[in-house]
Structures are given as structure tokens and as C-alpha cells.
């Protein structure tokens, strides 16, 4: 093997076969190329490992003719009625602190035992599930899983079809793809949930659709090859105009995730959470390329650490229409209560003005005279005097005017209020 002629400093070292001292001779300004080539011929060859880049491996594409496509049977199996299709990648997305991890644990338990997701949505058969959660910590996962199991009549220790891991795979890493493949195959998982996505993926190109798509494709292929469905827990954007409207697919944050999801479960708040109540009013929107679509209102009550008996798990799922009607009724009731409170406050203030006016009229006076002294309009005086009469603070009386035989109807303070017998 030959080399180009290069100048090498006298007494320098050549980086081939270790530290090989090479002294070049110069003749007429030219390096002694033959001497260098002789050294190269004696050098040990470098043993390089085979390429592991999939792009450098032989690639072939599966070919399906129209006749084969038409003759084949591709059934869609719903693990959960009208909510979750087996084998298709799914994304669970929602705003921060919208109980995404708790809902994932409920989902995992329901799938593992073949019960009802959120106590309402039927699971058609039990399957083996793995939940990889790197955000909450095992203490929180344990406490949440125990509460959900207790609410559904199960013992956490007895659920054999569900495994947990606090380790997360690293998207874009061949080593992690192999590790996830082993994790799935060792427990024969049909469903694996990764929570949350932002801790499993590099964020440098979060807005690049092509980069994100390439990262998602690697892990998706691992799940496809092993016959396992991947569920990714992710976040929705914070820039919604109405933060309490039902979440939509377009609300999912980062590039590539909307396109990745073949089906989705989106979580959002219907109303602001009131700290200290442990009560959450949520939206749950589901859909997928298989054609299923639904919107539910999910009410979760879990108490707080101060709740007698400790925290619990109580879920109610109702159709969106019923939730909207209930919300409108609550809003109308709250508005009416607020209006009534303001009206009563105004009556109380007007009543004090009437009492103050009557305190200076120990014999009482006609309604008009009292109203003028108090400086009030007729409608407000009527409401306030009615309240005072009902409470007994003011009593009717007859007002006799000079040069008039027939007395007028009037009002006076009750005897003890105006210090009269």
C-alpha cells in the first residue's frame, strides 16, 4: 500500500503500530517514500468491528399484492371497548398534574386483571402489561396502585400480569432498543407504557419533525417486532385559549407526536383544581385511526393526606353532554347565589338606613317621609321595609297629621328599639 509524500520532522514518531520512530531522509527536497512504505507494510492491520448501523445492513421490503391484501384478514382487536386497540401505538397526553400517571396505573391494572378502566370502560381480556415510570418514584407508584386496587376489589400483590420499572429507555440508542426488547420478551408483555416521554427522549430537536420521527420509529419498531403495543405518556401545550376545553390531538406538544399516535387518550381539566379537596374534574378524549372516538367527563375523588382514613380512589365517568349540563347548572346556581347574596347585602344596608331614619322619628312616619329621610328609591325602600317587617324590627303604626281626621299608614321601630313603651 502506497502513501502520499509528506514531510515528517527528523526524529519524530509515526502513529502506526505504536510509537514507531521514523527518521526521514531528505534528498533534493523529497521524502524517502520507499522507507515509509516499508514501515507501513510491516504494520499490523486494524481489526474493526462490523458496522451496526441499520442503514448499512441489507434492506428488503415486504411486498403485498392487491389480491393478497384483499384475501387477507386484518382484524382490529379492542382491548378496551371503543377506547384502545391492540397493537397500535398510543399516546396518553395531558397538562401537568392532570393525573396522567394515576390514570396509566389504573389502565395497567385494568388490563392486567381484565376489569373496567376507570370503573366504566370494559376491558375485553386480560393481558400482560409493563409500566416504565421515571418521574413519580416507586413510593408514589406503590401508594397509587394500592388505592386503585383497593377500590376495584383487588390485592396489588396478587396481580401477576403487571410489572413496573423506574428505569426509562433512551430513544435513539441501539443499546436501549435491545434492552427494551429484552424487557418486553422476558415478561411476554403485550402492552408497555413509557412515562413520561420527555425523560426518555433528547430535547435538542423537539421541534424538528424529521428528527423526532426517526427517534420514535426506532422504539416503535422494537414494539412491532415483539408484538407489543407502546403507550407514551406526554404533555399538551400550555397555550390553549380556553384551558378548560376538551383537549384535542393538535394540543399535543413537540413535533412528531401527533403524527406518531395511531390512537390517543387525552386528559385535561374541566374546572380549576381547588387545593385541599382532592377532587378532580377532568376531560378524557379518545380517538384513533381505527375509527373510534369518544369524549367523557371523568370525576376523580382521592382525598388528601389529611382525610380521615387516608387517601382513596373513587372515579365516576359520565358522557360529555351530561357533564356540560351539570356544569351549566352549577354555574347557574352559583350565579343565582351570588346575585342573591348581593341583593341581600343591599337590603341589609338599606334596612340600616331606614332604622337610622326611624330612630329620629320616635312617633313613626309615613313610608314617603321615611324614604325621603333615608334618601332611597321606592323599589329599594319597599324591599328593605318588607325585610324589617318580617324580622319584627319595624312595626306598622297609624300616623295622625294635623287638619286630617283619617290617619295615614306608617311605620315605627319596635318599642324596645325606639325606647318607647
The per-residue pLDDT for 133 is 96
Flag whether pLDDT at 147 surpasses 60.
Answer: yes
Q: Confidence band (pLDDT; 50, 70, 90) for 417?
A: low
Q: Are residues 216 and 90 in the same domain?
A: yes
Q: Given 279, 312, 345, which residue is the final one in a domain? A: 312
The per-residue pLDDT for 175 is 94
Q: Are residues 239 and 92 in the same domain?
A: yes
- Helices 174-186 and 209-226: crossing angle in degrees, nearest 10, is 30
The per-residue pLDDT for 416 is 54
Alpha-carbon gap, residue 122 to 35, rounded angstroms: 81
Buried-exposed string 381-417: b where 16+ CB fall within 10 A, e elsewhere: bebbbebbeeeeebeebebeeeeeeeebebbbbeeee
Q: Residue ranges of the alpha helices (H) in 27-161?
A: 33-42, 66-71, 100-113, 138-151
Cell readout for 221 is 419498531
Residue 220 sits in a domain of what CATH number? 3.40.50.300
Instruction: Kindly report, residue by residue over 74-117, the tens digit of the pLDDT.
Output: 889 999 998 999 999 999 999 989 999 999 999 999 999 999 99
The per-residue pLDDT for 415 is 73
Instruction: Kindly report, residue by residue over 266-321, the tens digit of the pLDDT.
Output: 999 999 999 999 999 999 999 999 999 999 999 999 999 899 889 999 999 999 99
CA angle 316, 322, 326 (to 5 degrees): 90
User: Domain residues for 38?
Assistant: 1-46
**Does residue 279 lie in a domain region?**
yes
Q: Are residues 303 and 380 in the same domain?
A: no
Q: Are residues 128 and 259 in the same domain?
A: yes
Flag whether pLDDT at 187 surpasses 90.
Answer: yes
| Strand positions, DSSP E, 345-388 | 365-366
Q: 158: Cβ–Cβ under 8 A, 6 or more apart, which residues?
A: none
Q: Are residues 42 and 82 in the same domain?
A: no
Flag whether pLDDT at 38 surpasses 80.
Answer: no
**Residue 337: other Cβ atoms inside 10 A:** 10
Q: Confidence band (pLDDT; 50, 70, 90) for 49?
A: low
Q: Are residues 297 and 394 in the same domain?
A: no
Q: Confidence band (pLDDT; 50, 70, 90) for 16?
A: very low
The per-residue pLDDT for 14 is 47
Instruction: Kindly report, residue by residue over 230-272, the tens digit of the pLDDT.
Output: 999 999 988 888 999 999 999 998 888 888 889 999 999 999 9
Q: Are residues 129 and 253 in the same domain?
A: yes
Q: Are residues 200 and 135 in the same domain?
A: yes
H or E stretch at 230: strand 229-235
**Does residue 69 lie in a domain region?**
no
The per-residue pLDDT for 259 is 86
**Does residue 70 lie in a domain region?**
no
Cell readout for 149 is 386496587
**Does residue 206 lie in a domain region?**
yes
Mean pLDDT rounded to a whole number for the chain: 87
Q: Given 251, 279, 312, which residue is the final one in a domain? A: 312
Flag whether pLDDT at 176 surpasses 90.
Answer: yes
The per-residue pLDDT for 42 is 67
**Does residue 62 lie in a domain region?**
no
DSSP character at residue 405: S
Segment 123-140 shows an average pLDDT of 95
**Does residue 405 lie in a domain region?**
yes
Q: 353: Cβ–Cβ under 8 A, 6 or more apart, which residues?
A: 374, 375, 376, 384
The per-residue pLDDT for 350 is 94
Q: Are residues 26 and 86 in the same domain?
A: no
Q: Are residues 1 and 141 in the same domain?
A: no
Which residue reads 430535547 in cell numbers?
Answer: 203
**Does residue 234 lie in a domain region?**
yes
Flag whether pLDDT at 22 surpasses 70.
Answer: no
Residue 408 sits in a domain of what CATH number? 1.10.10.10
The per-residue pLDDT for 41 is 67
**Does residue 8 lie in a domain region?**
yes
The per-residue pLDDT for 58 is 81
Q: Are residues 298 and 392 in the same domain?
A: no
Q: Are residues 255 and 132 in the same domain?
A: yes
Q: Which has the closest alpha carbon to 297: 260, 264, 329, 271?
A: 271
**Residue 178: other Cβ atoms inside 10 A:** 12
Domain tally for the chain? 3
DSSP character at residue 78: E
Q: Confidence band (pLDDT; 50, 70, 90) for 25?
A: very low
Contact in structure between 115 and 152 (CB atoms under 8 Å): yes
Amino acid at each position: 500500500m502506497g502513501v502520499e509524500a509528506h514531510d515528517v520532522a527528523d526524529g519524530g514518531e509515526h502513529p502506526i503500530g505504536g510509537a514507531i520512530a521514523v527518521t526521514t531522509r531528505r534528498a533534493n527536497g523529497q521524502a524517502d517514500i520507499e522507507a515509509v512504505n516499508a514501515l507501513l507494510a510491516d504494520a499490523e492491520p486494524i481489526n474493526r468491528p462490523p458496522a451496526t448501523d441499520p442503514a448499512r445492513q441489507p434492506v428488503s421490503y415486504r411486498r403485498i399484492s392487491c389480491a393478497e391484501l384483499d384475501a387477507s384478514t386484518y382484524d382490529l382487536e379492542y382491548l378496551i371497548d371503543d377506547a384502545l386497540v391492540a397493537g397500535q401505538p398510543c399516546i396518553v397526553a395531558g397538562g401537568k398534574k392532570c393525573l396522567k400517571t394515576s390514570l396509566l396505573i389504573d389502565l395497567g391494572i385494568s388490563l392486567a386483571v381484565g376489569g373496567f378502566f376507570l370503573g366504566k370502560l370494559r376491558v375485553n381480556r386480560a393481558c400482560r402489561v409493563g409500566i416504565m415510570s421515571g418521574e413519580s418514584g416507586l413510593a408514589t407508584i406503590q401508594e397509587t396502585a394500592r388505592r386503585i386496587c383497593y377500590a376495584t376489589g383487588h390485592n396489588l400483590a396478587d396481580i401477576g400480569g403487571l410489572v413496573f420499572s423506574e428505569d426509562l429507555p433512551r430513544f435513539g440508542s441501539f443499546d436501549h432498543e435491545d434492552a427494551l426488547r429484552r424487557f418486553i420478551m422476558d415478561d411476554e408483555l403485550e402492552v408497555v407504557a413509557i412515562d413520561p416521554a420527555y425523560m426518555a427522549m433528547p430535547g435538542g430537536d423537539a421541534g424538528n419533525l424529521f428528527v423526532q420521527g426517526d427517534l420514535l420509529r426506532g422504539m416503535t419498531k422494537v414494539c412491532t417486532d415483539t408484538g407489543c403495543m407502546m403507550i407514551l405518556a406526554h404533555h399538551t401545550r400550555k397555550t390553549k385559549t380556553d384551558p378548560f376545553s376538551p383537549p384535542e390531538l393538535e394540543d399535543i406538544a413537540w413535533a412528531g407526536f401527533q403524527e406518531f399516535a395511531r390512537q390517543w387518550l387525552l386528559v385535561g381539566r374541566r374546572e380549576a383544581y381547588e387545593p385541599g379537596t382532592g377532587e378532580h374534574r377532568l376531560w378524557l378524549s379518545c380517538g384513533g385511526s381505527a375509527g373510534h372516538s369518544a369524549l367523557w367527563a371523568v370525576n376523580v375523588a382521592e382525598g388528601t393526606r389529611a382525610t380521615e382514613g387516608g387517601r382513596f380512589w373513587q372515579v365516576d365517568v359520565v358522557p360529555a353532554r351530561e357533564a356540560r349540563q351539570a356544569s351549566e347548572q352549577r354555574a347557574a346556581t352559583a350565579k343565582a347565589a351570588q346575585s342573591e347574596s348581593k341583593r341581600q347585602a343591599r337590603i341589609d344596608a338599606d334596612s340600616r338606613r331606614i332604622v337610622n331614619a326611624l330612630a329620629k322619628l320616635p312617633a313613626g312616619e309615613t313610608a314617603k317621609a321615611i324614604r325621603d329621610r333615608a334618601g332611597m328609591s321606592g323599589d329599594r325602600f319597599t324591599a328593605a321595609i318588607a325585610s324589617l317587617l318580617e324580622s319584627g324590627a319595624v312595626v306598622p303604626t297609624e300616623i295622625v297629621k294635623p287638619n286630617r281626621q283619617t290617619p295615614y299608614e306608617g311605620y315605627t321601630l319596635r318599642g324596645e328599639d325606639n325606647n318607647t313603651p
